[in-house]
Amino acid sequence: MMKGLKKWRLVTLLAALTIILSGCGEEYLSTLLPAGEVGQDQFNLLLLTTGIMILVMIVVFTIYFIALAKFRRKKFGDDHMPKDVEGSHKLELIWTAIPILLVIIMAVPTVYYTYKLGDVSAMEATDDEGNAENLVVNVTAKLYWWEFEYPEQGIVTAQELVVPTGERVYFNLISSDVKHSFWIPAIGGKLDTNVENVNKFYLTFDKESEGLEDGVFYGKCAELCGPSHALMDFKVKTLSPDDFDGWVAAMQETEGATASADSADAGEAAFAQSCIGCHAVSGVGTSGAAAPNLATYGDRNRVAGFLEHNEQNTIDWIKDPQKYKPGNLMPAFDSLSDEDLDAIADYLHGLKVEE
């Protein structure tokens, strides 16, 4: 009876694990489905080390079960003494050489890819006219949001990183408050964003995100940074080079855009009175803003990085941001009237540069 119960408990556990692990295969989030050169290189290393580990386990368990079956006590009797192999130079050489060989097999590609993926010398490369040959993005991590500046293009955005496919994109990573960690699981490994120094690396994006379930790749903060660490998400839109150039041009056309308190648009006027001191609505600028740039708010995939993108969630966020992201620095605007909140939400969702 007890054996039967244990058996069914094991079956139930395995079934539950199957359901849970099925969520690890989402293309927009999984490290096991790499969508870029860096992610593929790292995945290959994972396959190599996992294969070696499995090989070692097979050999060890095979030897164990052979010994268990071949040298059972009842087969030889209680008085049998096995052959003494103490001091066997052959055995000692074998079990010393094999681990060294396996470590070398893992070490060589690991060292190679460490230097390859850490090479950012091309970040500063320029053509004959002095223009940058590669796209560089300055990433600033803040409690609990992300700012993305494109210095050569003169534009800045927040919460959604937009990049072209088929080329290396170089990143300067820094934090404005505490340590965070920049990670796009499907594209490549994480790298810390520190307050005191800039970390640099590159990623490549091989697939356009439009065909994914949510139209974006998911990015995460991979370093415990406070009570809303798990909610410090960002999204990544990968576009063809031509579409990316079009997006950059559309962002540059927002230069000088602002909100006026005298506007006939009730939402713009209310925004100008309550929000413009922290939030910019022009995509042209530099990093260092106190709050996320909202020039592309209407194009975003999520509100605050994780809420469904609709006007009601925008209103709820404005009224009480601490309810959704404890510890964030945005004050509550619960004193605004329902009419003002509705108007601001409508205005924000109209801020778009994508067709």
pTM over 0.75: yes
d(CA 48, CA 102): 11
Task: Give the pair of three-digit tokens for residue 241.
Answer: 């080079």
The residue among 140, 164, 125 whose CA lies nearest residue 285 is 140
Q: pLDDT (tens digit, 9 = 90+) per residue, 85-119? A: 677 788 889 889 999 999 999 999 999 999 999 99
Mean pLDDT for 20-33 is: 76
Q: Residue 24: what pLDDT?
A: 60
Give the DSSP H/E element, type plus range, for residue 242. Answer: helix 241-252
Q: Residue 51: what pLDDT?
A: 95
Q: Which contacts qualify for 256-262: CB closer than 8 Å, 24 or more apart? A: 256/282, 256/284, 257/281, 257/282, 257/283, 257/295, 258/282, 259/347
Q: Residue 192: what pLDDT?
A: 96
Read off the pLDDT band of 130 (50, 70, 90): confident
CA distances from residue 131 to 70, 122, 123, 151, 171 in whole angstroms, order as listed:
73, 13, 12, 12, 17
Q: Residue 117: what pLDDT?
A: 93
Read off the pLDDT band of 266 (50, 70, 90): very high
Mean pLDDT for 220-249 is: 96
Cα end-to-end distance, the chain, whole Å: 66
Q: Is the peptide bond before 297 cis (omega within 30 degrees of 0)?
A: no
CATH topology of domain 136-350: Immunoglobulin-like (2.60.40)
Q: Residue 23: what pLDDT?
A: 53
d(CA 316, CA 337): 13
Q: pLDDT (tens digit, 9 = 90+) per residue, 141-167? A: 999 999 999 999 999 999 999 999 999
Read off the pLDDT band of 20 (50, 70, 90): low
Cβ neighbors of 353 (< 8 A, separation 6 or more) are: 247, 250, 251, 253, 254, 283, 295, 296, 299
Q: pLDDT (tens digit, 9 = 90+) per residue, 216-234? A: 999 999 999 999 999 999 9
d(CA 186, CA 206): 11
Q: Where are the domains of the chain?
A: 136-350
In which residue are the tokens 């801020």 written?
351
Q: Are 173 and 191 in contact (CB under 8 A)?
A: yes
Q: pLDDT (tens digit, 9 = 90+) per residue, 64-88? A: 998 888 877 777 777 777 777 677 7
Residue 235 burial class via C-beta count within 10 angstroms: exposed 0-12, middle 13-18, buried 19 and up: buried
Cβ neighbors of 279 (< 8 A, separation 6 or more) are: 271, 289, 291, 292, 293, 294
